[in-house]
Structure 1
Amino acid sequence: MQHFTVSLPQISNVACRPDRRSIIFLTESNSSPLQHCGQDVLPGDIIINRTDVAHHRSGHDYHLGAMSLPIDEFDVAVEAIAGGGFSKRLDERSIHPNPALMSRLLKLHKVVGQLAHETPDVLAIPEVLRALESELVHVMVRCLAEGVVLETSMGGRRHDAIVTRFEEFLEANPDRPLYLTEICAAIGVAERTLRASCEEHFGMGPIRYLTLRRMHLVRRALLRSDPSTATVTQIVADHGFWELGRFSVAYRMFFGETPSCTLRRPPADPRVRLDRPSTLAFAGPGLA
């Protein structure tokens, strides 16, 4: 089980372990909107993670719950509770459960989370742990088995596949700036189609996404460089930014300091956080 409360708008890549079956859902009715791989997640819906990596795009102040089981344990529970013929439902991305069952799941999820936070010793009692886990799994499977399937369009599935190839190409080239023409050629898709897919998943086009990625690559290079031999101008130029003044203003808006301050920061500084360059803020200054 997991629970997240996020205060700022963001885009995130969520890695899902391939040996587990996982679901996510909003835990508060007034939660800020969330999009999962370009699809709106509404309060009362359950999203089934079908890929190893999923893209989340959210507004400020949203509340997300997650649950997962090893695939073999999940299959045993499904067979025992729902019987055969249920597996096809898991090919879809989202399900809208019976409201009463979903309410029960949310309450259980909240109670167990509170126990883990306030009285974790209770969960160390095997009988208590087994009872809570059994009830959670039972309600989860019933929510999935008895809910209404929200089918994903063929266009949505195609966009999923395109964005997956796009991300794989970025991950295969982590330390250099990439440009749209070479990416489209490498993944075999037209620019217009890639733009539509990125707008759906990220809320921005590929050029904007790549520009933000290059900015994060600059920050990583600055943090790793020796200030006695490296210069901000050279590092910034190496990553395809030619207007240093404009870049410096945008950089400071994103990271709260100038590029030169980042370059002078000691490597052991605990405030340094080397995020993946493709993990991007949702909103920020415009760059072209």
Structure 2
Amino acid sequence: MGQFLLVDSKKLDGFEGLHQAVHGSHVDVMQLGRGRLRGTLSHIGIGEFSLSIGTFNVGMRTQRVSSDDKLIIGMLLAAEDRVAHWSFDMQLNDVLVIPPLLDHDGVFHGASAYAAMRFDLAEVESLFGGEARLCDPETWRSRGHFRADIESGAIASRRLVRIMSHLRTRAGSLTPSTADFWKRSIVECMAANVMSSLPPDDIGWLPSARRMIRRVEDYLDEAGTRPVHVSEICAAMSVSRRTLHRAFQEVFGLGPVSFLRHKRLCAVHSILRESAPGSTTVSAVAMQQGFYELGRFSQYYFAMFGERPSQTLGIMTSPVGGADIVRA
């Protein structure tokens, strides 16, 4: 049985709307800046896992009492002035860890935007697959602040917003594998900024790259056509993301993300070639394989195969009027 995808989005008209700033967790809010608070608040929930993104236009103080047994990991997406959580001064895309059952105190001195994911501590080991320093639940039992890398932090922030935007249009049920994929995609955005703040992990034995690749490909064969996230592979192989990347670079000359994208593109190509026109759509097949940005997917597809996905499916665009006709 799949998991239900909960989607909730609303406009804020007053600071009271931010009492549920993080889905499933009550926060006491006091407005600091002058003027009526305006903004937006969006939540998506996948089982007990949730992602919340909020924006607001005036300064405020937030306090959370220690009644919630879930782990909260947040990221600062935008700020026009100083933002402090506990004694941590936050910079853009920094990550904040709020452990279960711990009081929290934050001050936003001006308009800001944030993202926060909330889930059970027991899920840490599976969701942060392969990164030994992140898989241990004890790592997350203390409050923490992780400074984001400027470049990778901005990329992670944009990706997180795009994922939220995509999932907001797809309310309904998810298959177990799709639900797992989206949770891992969200977690990865946060994990990227956490990892950039940790010292390099260059100690240890690097298993044979080719042997590791064979194990990965066996795992992907067993997964069939469902999309597989890199962190899932790391967890299954019990290796770090960095080790996996080095192995793929040695064998293929590209990283595991690019490899998985190429593999998924090939899967889409095969499905489209074997499908009769009218029996499916390009967007349906692309999304089944984890491509949620269809414009970017089309670019990847054309660059790889030299044709549009609609041409592979047997549909081509008429030069007059733009209508789709079936290719003979």
Bigger helix fraction: 1
Higher relative contact order, structure no. (Cα contacts within 8 Å, ≥ 6 residues apart) = 1
TM-score normalised by length of structure 1:
0.43
TM-score normalised by length of structure 2:
0.38
